[in-house]
Structure 1
Amino acid sequence: MFRHTKMLQFEAKPAGPDPLYARKLQELIGGAYGEMTVTMQYLFQGWNCRIEGKYKDLIMDTATEEIGHVEMLATMVARLLEGAPATATAEAAKDPVMAAVLGGMDPQQAIVSGGGAVPADSNGTPWNGKYIVASGNLLADFRANAAAEAQGRLQTARLYNMTDDPGVKDMLKFNLARDTVHQKQWLRAIEELQADGLESDIAPNDLFDVEDQTHNNTIWHLSDGPDGNKGGWATGEDRIEYLMDPEALGGPGTAPEPDPALYATHADGTRPAEGDVETYYADGRWKNQVVGNSRASSTGEKKAEAQAQGRELARKRGVTHVVRRKDGEIAEKHDYGK
């Protein structure tokens, strides 16, 4: 059961109307990291929480507060729109040409909501329930919550510097403070989950014995930037190994032949069978790989050398040898089937 109190959590009175800024404030209402998002995120996390007690109570307390933040911002938007669009024009758009360019208030605020806030972002894009994270795993959710509050505080800080209205600034000072404490509470709640033995560092706390142990402590150097391995994550006792010259573990990403009814363009015979040998170019080297295996059988600097190795391997296995050009297209096929 929810009960509404008519008093705002904090005052929302601008010094004067400003339709253009009202449109900007819509981001804090219906944007991806706006108050509607954290409201619904926390509500569904609370409703999905399987543990009665401190964690669920914290989530529901914060969720209910966020409903009030939506109301505060909606009230501020309505007051910034007072008299618009008939008699008030945004200070930044007094010139008729600039008014046309800047757009002033969101047309939806005049056409749909009658001079009030709308459940949308600053571009008028409707709020989307896909913005929220409510997985049922408290560690994963609390980390998402801390990130959402960080993004929300960042946007609030930017908007704080976009207005000189003292009433708007006063409300945003309050919002900044609440975003600060919400970040702190979720980070401390994460620590408490670990102290209570409910979660560890990794979410979910399971299947560690199932995952491929070869790949759970490596970072692949896959960009031109050379300094990734200089970070603290790659040094010290608990460092993650930085693979500076990683090799692809799979073969070419060739899609299977399509259903004829889909009429997708394709060339017959381009897909080698399981067990065939492919000679192909990747990561600056020529490689041979048995189709179906995760690693290359051999590599070489020159195509002729790799092609000879692939041909010999195909002969020994009694399979087809497929030779690809650098662009991945098939250049040659030789069948050594017995």
Structure 2
Amino acid sequence: MFFQEPELQYEVTVEDPDPHFAKLLQQAIGGQEGEMRVALQYMFQAWALPEEFEAYRNLLMETAAEELGHIEMLASAVTKNLRGSPKEMREETEETAAVAAAMTGQNPRQYLSSGLSAMPVDSNGVPFTGAYIAASGNLAGDLYANVMAEATGRTLATRLWDYTDDPGMKDMLSYLIARDTMHQNQWLEALESLDDPVPVPASFPQEQENQDVNYTFISTRREEQPNPEYPWTQGEAPDGNGTFSYAAEQPGDGEVIAPDPDPSTYNNPNDVDD
């Protein structure tokens, strides 16, 4: 169940409207690093958790709802950057599509399809896709995915912060960057609270793995290379269940030969009529 209040989670102001920056902000809405991605990701992860994981379900849903508020903030910022453009620019850019693109660099669809409003697309106008969402049903794996999602989102927000000189936009992005900091840390802390979260899934019996390679870094170089003695080629593995080792070559066996094709597929180039 959701409720809504007619106010933004954090105030959004634009002092110097910039249609081009509105286009860039779209990435933070509907892009692979955007808020639509994390909001839906956290929801679907939460909905998969059984009753005994109520604390984690609540953590995910609280954060998902917060991310919905971030979408609203960014949509407001896009609209203010588009509709607040100077009147002189609007009149000149309305003359031809070429002048409009040259003057504003905005996505034409923001005018043609949404009437100078935000859209569920990225900065190139590509619609948001659920393929961005990671929700495996395994809590540990999903929490790792969440750390990555917040890391890429924070990277995007910092680049947007550097790009703009508008004080209002910098203030909004500073807030979003700070929340990304919190979210990265909360997911890491949640991982620490799990018993033996790695390797994911930790519930799979490791004795069923191939014991010859489960902690071996395998070199794929043509020429045999010596062990570089990196942390991931020697010493105890982070899960505490094994010791890293190094293999200078891949196991290698068998031939890459496909079985004969089914005649009904017409895959055989040598199959000719007499």
Q: TM-score scaled by structure 1? A: 0.70
1:200 and 2:210 aligned? no
Cross-structure match for 1:243: 247
Cross-structure match for 2:259: 256
By how many angstroms is 1:246 displaced? 2.7
Which amino acid in the other structure matches residue 235 of structure 2? G
Cross-structure match for 1:62: 63
Q: How does 1:1-338 map to 2 (within 5 A)?
A: 1-50=1-50, 51-83=52-84, 87-88=88-89, 100=101, 104-194=105-195, 199-205=196-202, 206-223=204-221, 229-238=228-237, 239-249=243-253, 251-266=254-269
More helix by share: 2
By how many angstroms is 1:87 displaced? 4.8
Contact 2:37/2:133 (<8 A) preserved: yes
Superimposed CA distance per residue, residues 37-92 of structure 1 (whole angstroms, 9 cap, x where no aligned partner): 00000111111111353211111110100000000000000000015697536xxx
Superimposed CA distance per residue, residues 259-309 of structure 1 (whole angstroms, 9 cap, x where no aligned partner): 2232224458xxxxxxxxxxxxxxxxxxxxxxxxxxxxxxxxxxxxxxxxx
Structure 1 residue runs of 5 or longer lacking an equivalent are 90-95, 269-338
Structure 2 residue runs of 5 or longer lacking an equivalent are 91-96, 238-242
Structure 1: how far apart are the matches of 2:173 and 2:198? Answer: 34
Taking CA–CA contacts closer than 8 Å with sequence separation of 6 or more, which of the two structures ends up with the larger relative contact order? 2
Cross-structure match for 1:321: none
Contact 1:17/1:88 (<8 A) preserved: no
**Number of residues of Structure 1 aligned to a counterpart in Structure 2:** 257
Structure 1: how far apart are the matches of 2:24 and 2:10? Answer: 20
- Quote the sequence identity (%): 43
SS for the counterpart of 1:240 is strand
Structure 2: how far apart are the matches of 1:241 and 1:267? Answer: 47
SS for the counterpart of 2:116 is coil
By how many angstroms is 1:15 displaced? 0.8
Superimposed CA distance per residue, residues 153-208 of structure 1 (whole angstroms, 9 cap, x where no aligned partner): 011111111111110000000000000010000000000012xxxx4321112131
Which amino acid in the other structure matches residue 115 of structure 1? L
Change (3 A) 1:215 1:52: closer
* Larger CA deviation: 43-52 vs 15-24: 43-52
Structure 2: how far apart are the matches of 1:223 and 1:74? Answer: 48
More strand by share: 1
Which amino acid in the other structure matches residue 41 of structure 1? Q
By how many angstroms is 1:137 displaced? 1.0
